[in-house]
Amino acid sequence: MTRYVSEFRDPAIARRLCAEIKFLVTAPWVIMEVCGGQTHAIVRSGIDQALPPQVRLVHGPGCPVCVTPIEVIDQAIAIARRPETILCSFGDMLRVPGSHQDLITARAQGGDLRIVYSPLEALQIARENPGQQVVFLAIGFETTAPGNAMAVSLAAREGLDNFSLLVCHVLVPPAMRALLGAPDNRVQGYLAAGHVCTVTGLADYEAISRDYRVPIVVTGLEPNDILEGLVMVLRQLEAGEHRVENQYQRSVRPAGNPLAWGMVEKVFAVRDQKWRGIGLLPASGLGLREEFAAFDAARKFEVAAITPEESPLCISGLVLQGIKRPDECPAFGAGCRPEHPLGATMVSSEGACAAYFHYQRL
Amino acid sequence: MDDGPDNKNPALTGGLACPLPFTRREQVLLAHGAGGRLSAELIGALILPRFANPALTRLHDQAILTLPPGRLAFSTDTYVVDPLIFPGGDIGELAINGTVNDVAMSGARPLFLSLGLVLEEGLPFATLERILDSMERAAREAGVQVVTGDTKVVPRGKCDKLFINTSGVGVVPEGLELDASRIRSGDVVIVSGTVGDHGLAVLTCRERLSFISQIRSDTAALYNLVAVMLAASSRIRVLRDPTRGGVATSLNEFAASSRLGIVVEEDSLPVAPAVRGACEALGLDPLTVANEGKLLAVVAREDAEPLLAAIKGHPLGREARIIGQVVDEHPGLVALRTGLGVKRLLEMPVAEQLPRIC
């Protein structure tokens, strides 16, 4: 596996790309990397420190754990605490603060909570525990949607009545539009999330680039991918151009993965969606289609009416929109730390606050 | 668990000379820990033949030991690994090597161990015997004697198959003081081999991550390597085996105790390709993953090369490398210099590592 990444981390190539950026840049630019995985790669490898001062990177909303509304965490906790349920989740979600506690505490208090690596694993747990209700916490962007759609599709085919999803799926392009349309927007160019485009292709991005006259480069997640993506965005910005370019050609095809997205469209329909810290964005999420309603844990367990409570000190919404840097938050590193977080951005492995906390306090 | 008045030290009646016949059973029963005949059978048939030595076979409530003069190094650790048996080792080997290593990091030669077993009712004897076999082998290879012990059986569900506690003692050579407070600016940090192997071996085995090629635990007793190192340099400041929390945690402890900074060169870290690949896939950092057969040494700069050569000459240190140095800047913190030549913070992990979503 390593040999597929070493080239994209080669320090000599990285230094050459940095030199190219320094040579290119004649004016100040603000560029947003959309994906939280990219944010972590940037801070971890020190790209933000190696760039010339005119290039400012702001961190985007592309952290699925961070934008999952607090009420979904509360619902998941309520489900996990029921005696007849097994709640399955990606590990990332366990330390995300809900209104009163997190999932890891719910587990310590007796909830049956299992970390899985794939929704198909949760499906297998359902097959093996016919007397228990197995619920998968189905969060994420377009990247995780095909797997979740596949799990529901298989469960329907097998007639499993003890498997369901607590769904919180979000879509990237509506969020990118919302940020560009905001009155205080500063973003002049995007590094779009390579893994998302692997599934969906480029069509939505062409429209955004055209409508907002903004360069978008679909970019991978390794340090040299990001540096190359920056070179491509900066070339467009310096030339006064705007179009979609694909830095991540080894993974992204213009049409995406029609098979995977077809599976998503069979099971899910687009709906308005609330994003933690950002608010309700029209047509920015996926919900189970009516014919798969039996697999909707929110209906099955009647947990929809929970009233959430956010910490009033947390500014993660501004961080997720690239308006504030994590270290501009008064609570950063003081009242808010990974061991007692106020917001999800401090605990997710893709959260910007976590990236700053873990790598930048030297 | 209190022995009843009538069966104080029941195994004494068996002893080594004439062990009670071991009634063949498939699984451990609660009675094997009740202090009665079955307890005596278990000790007489499974424990004594493997670990026999004069202090143990007295079977008193305590071992009476004669130690060489000097300061005592004393350590204890409890082993609760799941699965019990994993690629490259098992809980038994880990329980011997882990405590041997904790004692050895003081420079002391580990001499004696205690062994506490907590068995879950229903544990297959075949599993127990296999684990005791590897404990016997590990103790023999490490040159330590198990001199006292205890066995308890708890009802099914009250523990996870088998927990082991070992405590160990050794005597620190006169004049030797290995302590992080002795670290000085300009000192060099050496790691004895690849990092992250043990943690990934257990994780990939436990989670049945079949897409990852097999990674083997590095569990090993390190005293012989320590002895070679102590002979090669008198200016070793501190030794530590980076187990739970990995190299990042040990280095942060060094920085905190010495009130100095440490800079690690990312490009110089030895990580096996399979471990690097698995860490990539799971979103883990090999620097925060546990090792069970590696050590970190901080040594005065002038001794770094000769010490490195000595470590590389030992079978457990072939892939040793210099990975960093001690600096005056950022006291109490560890920095990683990335391929871009930029320094960023290297923290100890906050809590258990949780695999990421995508």
- Kindly report, residue by residue over A80-112, the tens digit of the pLDDT: 999 999 999 998 899 899 999 999 999 999 999
Output the average pLDDT for chain A.
93
Closest CA to B138 of B51, B244, B214: B51
Beta carbons within 10 angstroms of residue B62's beta carbon = 10
Instruction: Inform me whether the C-beta atom of residue A120 falls under 8 Å from chain B C-beta atoms.
Output: no
Share of chain B above pLDDT 70, in %: 90
Distance CA A343, CA A95 (A): 10
Contact across the interface for B355 and A18, Cβ inside 8 Å: no
Contact across the interface for B351 and A358, Cβ inside 8 Å: no
Cβ–Cβ under 8 Å, residues B247 and B328? no
pLDDT on residue A277: 86
In terms of CA atoms, which chain B residue is nearest residue A139?
B357
Query: Would you call B25 exposed, middle or buried from its count of C-beta atoms within 10 A (0-12, 13-18, 19+)?
Result: middle
**pLDDT beyond 50 at A76:** yes
Instruction: Inform me whether the C-beta atom of residue B333 falls under 8 Å from chain A C-beta atoms.
Output: yes
Q: Which residues from chain A sit within 8 angstroms of residue B280, using beta carbons?
A: 1-2, 5
Tens of pLDDT along B134-183?
Answer: 999 999 999 999 999 999 999 999 999 999 999 999 999 999 999 999 99
pLDDT on residue B204: 85
Q: Which residues of B210-239 are buried (b: 16+ CB within 10 A; e: fewer)?
A: eebeebbbbbbbbbbbbebbbebbebbbbb
Instruction: Inform me whether the C-beta atom of residue A251 falls under 8 Å from chain B C-beta atoms.
Output: no
Mean pLDDT of B293-322: 98
Contact across the interface for A45 and B351, Cβ inside 8 Å: no
Tokens found for residue A69: 């509304």
The dihedral region occupied by B283, where left means phi > 0, alpha psi between -120 and 50, and beta the remainder, is: left
In terms of CA atoms, which chain B residue is nearest residue A37?
B358
Cβ–Cβ under 8 Å, residues A110 and A80? no
Beta carbons within 10 angstroms of residue A45's beta carbon = 26
pLDDT on residue B7: 38
Q: Best interface-test mutation with B: which of A339, A349, A361 has the largest number of B CBs within 10 A?
A: A349
Beta carbons within 10 angstroms of residue A309's beta carbon = 11
Contact across the interface for A338 and B207, Cβ inside 8 Å: no
Select the more confidently predicted residue: B19 or A244.
Answer: A244
Instruction: Inform me whether the C-beta atom of residue B210 falls under 8 Å from chain A C-beta atoms.
Output: no
ipTM summary value:
0.77
Among B276, B344, B358, select the one facing A2 at the smallest CB separation. B276
Tokens found for residue B332: 């109490």
Tens of pLDDT along B67-81?
Answer: 999 999 999 999 999
Q: Which residues from chain A sit within 8 angstroms of residue B277, using beta carbons?
A: 1-2
Contact across the interface for A11 and B267, Cβ inside 8 Å: yes
Cα–Cα–Cα angle for A44, B275, A121, nearest 5°?
Answer: 95
Tens of pLDDT along A23-75?
Answer: 999 999 999 999 999 999 999 999 999 999 999 999 999 999 999 999 999 99
Q: Which residues from chain B sit within 8 angstroms of residue A64, using beta carbons?
A: 357-358
- DSSP strands (E only) in B96-207: 109-120, 145-154, 162-172, 188-191
In terms of CA atoms, which chain B residue is nearest residue A140?
B357
CA neighbours closer than 13 Å in the CB half-sphere of residue B305: 1
Span of B90-94, B249-253, B281-285 with lowest mean pLDDT: B281-285
Contact across the interface for A1 and B356, Cβ inside 8 Å: no
As beta bridge partners, residue A164 has A135
> What totals of helices (H) and strands (E) does chain A contain, helices first?
16, 11
Distance CA A112, CA A98 (A): 17
Contact across the interface for A144 and B358, Cβ inside 8 Å: yes
Select the more confidently predicted residue: B336 or B60.
Answer: B336
Q: What's the pLDDT band for B22 if we cut at 50, 70, 90? A: low
Tens of pLDDT along B186-239?
Answer: 999 999 999 999 999 998 888 777 666 689 999 999 999 999 999 999 999 999
Residues 6 or more apart whose CB falls under 8 angstroms from that of A355 comprise A39, A40, A42, A43, A44, A59, A326
Strands B334-337 and B296-299, sheet pairing: unpaired
Q: What's the pLDDT band for A304 if we cut at 50, 70, 90? A: low
Q: What is the dihedral of CA B299, B304, B310, B311, to 10 degrees?
A: 60
**Cα-based distances in Å from B291 to B99, B102, B219, B239:** 13, 13, 8, 14
Span of B13-22, B254-263, B295-304 with lowest mean pLDDT: B13-22
Q: Best interface-test mutation with A: which of B260, B262, B288, B344 has the largest number of A CBs within 10 A?
A: B344
Select the more confidently predicted residue: B315 or B356.
Answer: B315
Q: What's the pLDDT band for A4 if we cut at 50, 70, 90? A: low
Instruction: Inform me whether the C-beta atom of residue B68 falls under 8 Å from chain A C-beta atoms.
Output: no
Mean pLDDT of B110-138: 96
pLDDT on residue B277: 86
Report phi then psi at B83, rounded to 5: -75, 160
| pTM (predicted TM-score) | 0.84
B26 CA: distance to closest CA in chain A (Å): 27
Instruction: Inform me whether the C-beta atom of residue B231 falls under 8 Å from chain A C-beta atoms.
Output: no
Contact across the interface for A44 and B344, Cβ inside 8 Å: yes
> What totals of helices (H) and strands (E) does chain B contain, helices first?
11, 13
Cα–Cα–Cα angle for A343, A349, A354, nearest 5°?
Answer: 50
